[in-house]
Structure 1
Amino acid sequence: MILLQSYNISKYFGAKQILNEVNVTIQDHEKIGLVGVNGAGKSTLLKILTGQLTPDAGELMRSGNLTLGYLAQDSGLESGRTIYEEMLSLFQPLIELEQQLRKLEELMGDSQVKSNETEFHRVLNQYDRLSETFREQGGYSYHSLIRGVLQGLDFPEVDDHSPISVLSGGQKTRLALAKNLLQKPDLLILDEPTNYLDIHSLAWLEQYLQTYSGAVLVVSHDRYFLDKVVTKIIELEFGRATTYPTNYSGFIDLKNQQQESLSKQFEQQQTEIAKAKDFIQRNMVRASTTKRAQSRLKALEKMELIEGPAAKQKQVFFTFDIKLKSGNDVLQVSDLAVGYSGVALAKKINFLIERGESVALLGPNGIGKSTLLKTIVGELPSLEGYLRKGTNVSIGYYAQQQEKLNPQKTVLDELWDDYRLMDERDVRTILGNFLFRGEDVYKKVGDLSGGEKARLSLAKLMLQKANLLILDEPTNHLDILSREILESSLVDYPGTILFVSHDRYFLNKMATRVIELSPAGTESFLGNYDYYQEKKAERNSQTTEKKELAKTQLGKQSYLESKEQQRLERKRLKRIEELEQLISATEEKITQITADLEKPEVAQNYTSCLELSSELSEKKFALDNYLEEWVSLTEE
């Protein structure tokens, strides 16, 4: 079933056309990735599809009763409530239904209602009906659903006393994502949902969206994420949309094949046209060949011309180089503790980085990765231990928030002030390579987008020619094409790299070693991200085996204790089996009593109706107790 469809959507901002006759179709249950360079119009299209913008031309059609959830880029949730209260507000109808059930239970226990056969029967029927509705709508699971989503998005300890107002911007964005997921709309539209998620949260979100019952349209620059989640790609390029029935990696292959095929067809046709024109020019004036030339001219005029391959999108272009080669030992860290105001975020940090390595620093959000990088570059003092730079080591630092940029300067001055000996033409050429062209160089830094600030920071970093690059989330705010160019530049870089990133595609391509930062300190893994994951999984498996072995050895050492545990386990399993039989028998009895109560002869007999209703209440009470005990025993 088609949930949403756009037909020939066009949109202008001033004289500039952003979207040109864009056609998009979203079917029920589809998982779609919307890709394109920064400025291609992705967010504009999403706002049109969600009704926040009106197209200048074209039509938008939605299925009846379509429910739609929309997470705008970096849109934080603002509320005066606590985290849990805000999530709970999504289930207000269920909460009200639960309150109605409690009131009905009170009425059913009221002596006056019990003594009135007609009223008691009415209350009982209403209770049964509402109970079934409550169960079908998830009344018994919405609390655990809230907890699961919040924990998956890195809100591990949430209670009624956690106010939203004190959260950071990134946390508020994650909370807005959580609210959208809990609403479970027919169509979920997400603009850069992976911002502010660490690797563990990303993996959780991937799994959640893979099994999501509705349709998903997502904009993301995370290629690993797109490969895992989507089965269809819509590319926006030069204002037009092209659909590919595959994930991101498949889309790249398909597009390259199509471009190559189109290029060959175009070249062949151009060769044919050139030959035809040459024949016509040589033979049109000769009486003996005029008719043949005219026939060839008519055929040329009727020829259906093949459009040449589209011009390439503007691309950033840069390479990293070094002024001076460093010594073999680039950076040594021993028993280091880092943090703020004397409070350590991470301790027992030990590692040695050698020349030519590309080392990824991994760890959960809040563990102190960025703090460690700031300590290495000298922006923060260390709390314990020491770090030592090697011979001739010069550091180039890329900050995650681009806080080293001056928001009051123009783009041109921000770069030129650090390199006054450069000619203005050379500075402009470099800025042009990073897509700052014409009047763009006079923009204020404070007015730049996240992607533009990232490109400007990379331009400054490139000119440093440092032999040790310290990079904190270098792919943030970069579109996919810019990320690929950054990867290619860093692969050819002759120096040493230490970086933090949650872009797993980037991690796989760049890392030659992974250092994991945890509360216990640091641990090194030789290889890229996939190898690190394999070793972690292998280690977890070995840990499980060791635990099983330890249990066996413990059993040998404490035979009597083991026998007692076995006896208790047999008793537990036997009780579970008994409970399952009791639950089944009680449910059958409840069904039978409910059917008896609906019989006309019983309904007209006050005494029988009262006895059956009382028995029904007793059976339901017993069933609840059986189920509660069964859940407790099975969880053990």
Structure 2
Amino acid sequence: MIRLESIGKQNGRQMVFVEASAALQRGEKIGLVGPNGAGKTTLFRLITGEELPDEGQVSVDRGVTIGYFSQDVGDLAGRSAVSEVMDGVGPVSAVAAELRALEAAMADPEQADEMDAIIARYGEVQGRFEELDGYAQEGRAREVLAGLGFSQEMMDGDVGALSGGWKMRVALARILLMRPDAMLLDEPSNHLDLESLIWLEGFLKGYDGALLMTSHDRAFMNRIVGKVVEIDGGALTAYSGDYEFYQQQRALNEKQQQAQFERQQAMLAKEIAFIERFKARASHAAQVQSRVKKLEKIERVEPPKRRQTVLFEFQPAPRSGDDVVSLKGVHKRYGSRVIYEGLDFQVRRKERWCVMGVNGAGKSTLLKLVAGATQPDQGTVTIGAAVRMGYFAQHAMELLDGERTVFQALEDAFPQAGQGSLRALAGCFGFSGDEIEKRCRVLSGGEKARLVMAKMLYDPPNFLVLDEPTNHLDIATKEMLIAALAEYEGTMLFVSHDRHFLAALSNRVLELTPEGVHAYGGGYTEYVARTGQEAPGLRS
């Protein structure tokens, strides 16, 4: 239904696509993968017609509807979340808006003189709303918003009052409600908590249209897609299977290509050695000439493209005491909202606690209390002997000095470090070559997160407190971070919605629920096996 045929596309000096071809068939669910900057968003924009290819053609079958969710949601304001979501399903949203306005007018004493006309118009509009199946559409809109974590109050409130992350959810809900023939989803898993992520996973599995999506969440992609298209070096390569299969197949292809390349190089070396040895002898002239011609005709095997993966290795952290942090009788409230009432919690050396709970359960508040970023209303938070803490929070990215370059930010943090070791550190976190000269104000969310992480981990603390450290990170950087943290010998307390990260790094689970706080020995995998649920909000 959607075909890209021999497309070429250049952005500035970068060749994004060179004679690239791919297709999206009805009902297919495809994961789009590739390194940052490879052209994933450009591909979406080519399909929607926002950009045109320099060569080749993009064709969409007649009558096919496309819904495109991108990270750039624009400035939503002035309407309720429900109205914004229903805006995607055609005229019913305008009729719904008029219905709401007429309901407000009927309740307005200043418009009493016009009440007959208002009531008559209300009857007409209500009839039209019912014709368009408006009540069912509104019900579905609320269902989708609830799945993405909205309360009734948020659904009916002005969307302009929501944070950027919640506005993203409104834009995503609009596409989901549309149920177009094909959905293009660019990072739909960003900004979602674990419960919403799992709900979206179920929704997309049950969606019968075609799906093309990118995601930095490996578990999420693995459970939805049945095919992977990789963008690399201007080409599009399709792999039939889920993300796990793609990784295995890619590694196998690389191994085979490397073996072919090495065999050919050995053969070429042998032929060249023969030519060099006998080229001056008249008795071997015919043989030499024959081998020269043979070499000219051989199609050269390229070595496999090496993905740039740099491993970060921790310096050994100084040892802390056995009691790392202790919370006793902690009370915390925000206004009338009680977060904790008499919380007791202790973290001991080498424990790796992941904190789980629905939105508003107090996950970030717990981390802030431990890090000293907020104080308890009652009770005590005691940090143990010789504990050196590193605290990663989302607001840490806002504290970067926009005018400093990446390299200067690292130099400011570690004035005693040599240039070589700081460049190596920057390289580990994805800043190679000229990228270390970028000013902090132009960095993307992912780049800022990587820079803050680099600053925190270079001179490692022995206690890491991490609030959603994988937000904005691509799969390759996440893998590097997981590998590094798996070797880390200190203590950890963290919140994450990435199930791969949770399973790989936790050895304890603290679950925050309205009924109270539950601690589980064993990590996230054991927690799932014991409770039968992947997140607390999914309990029946």
TM over 0.5: yes
Which residue does the alignment assign to 1:290? 285
Alignment CA distance shift 1:225-1:74 (3 Å): farther
Alignment CA distance shift 1:326-1:49 (3 Å): same
Distance in 2 between the 1:20 and 1:298 partners? 30
Decide which of 300, 305, 309 is 1:305's aligned counterpart: 300
Which residue does the alignment assign to 1:226? 221
Alignment CA distance shift 1:44-1:350 (3 Å): farther
Alignment CA distance shift 1:139-1:459 (3 Å): closer
Contact persistence 2:82–2:138 (CA under 8 A): no
> What 5-or-longer segments of structure 2 have no aligned partner?
97-126
Mapped pair 1:191 → 2:191: no
Distance in 1 between the 2:451 and 2:95 partners? 55
Matched to 1:82, the amino acid is: S
Cα deviations by residue, 1:519-556 (Å, 9 ceiling, x for unpaired): 3332112223232122122899xxx9xx9xxxxxxxxx
Which residue does the alignment assign to 1:469? 464
Matched to 1:504, the amino acid is: R
Contact persistence 2:191–2:471 (CA under 8 A): no
Identity %: 39
Mapped pair 1:217 → 2:215: no
Alignment CA distance shift 1:14-1:90 (3 Å): closer
Mapped pair 1:277 → 2:272: yes
Which residue does the alignment assign to 1:34? 32
Which residue does the alignment assign to 2:415? 420
**Structure 2 counterpart SS, 1:530:** helix
| Aligned pairs (5 A) from 1:45-60 | 45-60=43-58
Contact persistence 1:76–1:176 (CA under 8 A): no
Contact persistence 2:229–2:239 (CA under 8 A): yes
Which residue does the alignment assign to 1:572? none
Distance in 1 between the 2:471 and 2:282 partners? 70
Distance in 2 between the 1:399 and 1:316 partners? 24
RMSD: 2.8
Cα deviations by residue, 1:273-301 (Å, 9 ceiling, x for unpaired): 11111122223333433333333333222
**Structure 2 counterpart SS, 1:154:** coil
Q: Alpha-carbon deviation of 1:160? A: 7.3
Which residue does the alignment assign to 2:141? 146
Which has the higher mean CA deviation after the structures are superposed, 375-384 or 348-357?
348-357
Mapped pair 1:329 → 2:327: no
Contact persistence 1:316–1:482 (CA under 8 A): no
**Structure 2 counterpart SS, 1:289:** helix
Matched to 2:71, the amino acid is: Q
Q: Alpha-carbon deviation of 1:97? A: 10
Matched to 1:249, the amino acid is: E
Mapped pair 1:382 → 2:376: yes
Alignment CA distance shift 1:539-1:309 (3 Å): closer
* Greater gyration radius: 1
Decide which of 241, 246, 252 is 1:251's aligned counterpart: 246
Contact persistence 1:10–1:57 (CA under 8 A): yes
Matched to 1:52, the amino acid is: E
Distance in 2 between the 1:54 and 1:154 partners? 37
TM-score, normalisation: structure 2: 0.87
Which residue does the alignment assign to 1:370? 364
Which residue does the alignment assign to 2:114? none
Distance in 1 between the 2:321 and 2:232 partners? 46
Which residue does the alignment assign to 2:16? 18
Q: Alpha-carbon deviation of 1:93? A: 4.7
Which residue does the alignment assign to 1:630? none
Which residue does the alignment assign to 2:453? 458
Alignment CA distance shift 1:448-1:250 (3 Å): same
Which residue does the alignment assign to 1:508? 503
Mapped pair 1:345 → 2:343: no
Decide which of 421, 442, 449 is 1:447's aligned counterpart: 442
**Structure 1 counterpart SS, 2:140:** helix
Contact persistence 1:348–1:520 (CA under 8 A): no
Matched to 2:277, the amino acid is: R
Matched to 2:385, the amino acid is: T
Alignment CA distance shift 1:197-1:383 (3 Å): same
Q: Alpha-carbon deviation of 1:74? A: 5.0
Contact persistence 1:344–1:383 (CA under 8 A): no
Q: Alpha-carbon deviation of 1:76? A: 5.5
Q: Alpha-carbon deviation of 1:251? A: 0.5
Decide which of 383, 390, 394 is 2:388's aligned counterpart: 394
Decide which of 381, 391, 403 is 1:408's aligned counterpart: 403
Matched to 1:309, the amino acid is: P
Mapped pair 1:529 → 2:524: yes
Q: Alpha-carbon deviation of 1:204? A: 0.7
Decide which of 157, 162, 183 is 2:157's aligned counterpart: 162
Matched to 2:38, the amino acid is: A
**Structure 2 counterpart SS, 1:235:** strand
Which residue does the alignment assign to 1:65? 63
Alignment CA distance shift 1:514-1:76 (3 Å): farther
Relative to its length, the structure with more helix (as a share) is 1
**Structure 2 counterpart SS, 1:417:** helix
Contact persistence 2:87–2:94 (CA under 8 A): no
Q: Alpha-carbon deviation of 1:140? A: 7.0
Alignment CA distance shift 1:314-1:91 (3 Å): closer
Which residue does the alignment assign to 2:108? none
Count residues with an aligned counterpart: 506
Alignment CA distance shift 1:337-1:410 (3 Å): farther
Decide which of 471, 481, 486 is 2:481's aligned counterpart: 486
Which has the higher mean CA deviation after the structures are superposed, 393-402 or 257-266?
393-402
Distance in 1 between the 2:269 and 2:372 partners? 65
Distance in 2 between the 1:159 and 1:449 partners? 28
Distance in 2 between the 1:233 and 1:523 partners? 39
Contact persistence 1:84–1:159 (CA under 8 A): no
Which residue does the alignment assign to 1:556? none
Contact persistence 1:77–1:173 (CA under 8 A): no
**Structure 2 counterpart SS, 1:426:** helix
Which residue does the alignment assign to 2:258? 263
Matched to 1:320, the amino acid is: F
| Aligned pairs (5 A) from 1:560-599 | none
Mapped pair 1:434 → 2:429: yes
Contact persistence 2:83–2:93 (CA under 8 A): no
Which has the higher mean CA deviation after the structures are superposed, 410-419 or 89-98?
89-98
Alignment CA distance shift 1:208-1:491 (3 Å): same
Contact persistence 1:445–1:453 (CA under 8 A): yes
Alignment CA distance shift 1:351-1:178 (3 Å): same
Which residue does the alignment assign to 1:7? 5
Q: Alpha-carbon deviation of 1:9? A: 2.4
**Structure 2 counterpart SS, 1:197:** coil
Contact persistence 1:362–1:517 (CA under 8 A): yes
Which residue does the alignment assign to 1:318? 312
Distance in 1 between the 2:470 and 2:270 partners? 49
Q: Alpha-carbon deviation of 1:340? A: 4.3
Contact persistence 1:396–1:466 (CA under 8 A): yes
Matched to 1:418, the amino acid is: A
Q: Alpha-carbon deviation of 1:349? A: 3.1
Matched to 1:54, the amino acid is: L
Contact persistence 2:6–2:56 (CA under 8 A): yes
Distance in 2 between the 1:350 and 1:527 partners? 19
Contact persistence 2:317–2:490 (CA under 8 A): no
Distance in 2 between the 1:338 and 1:9 partners? 58
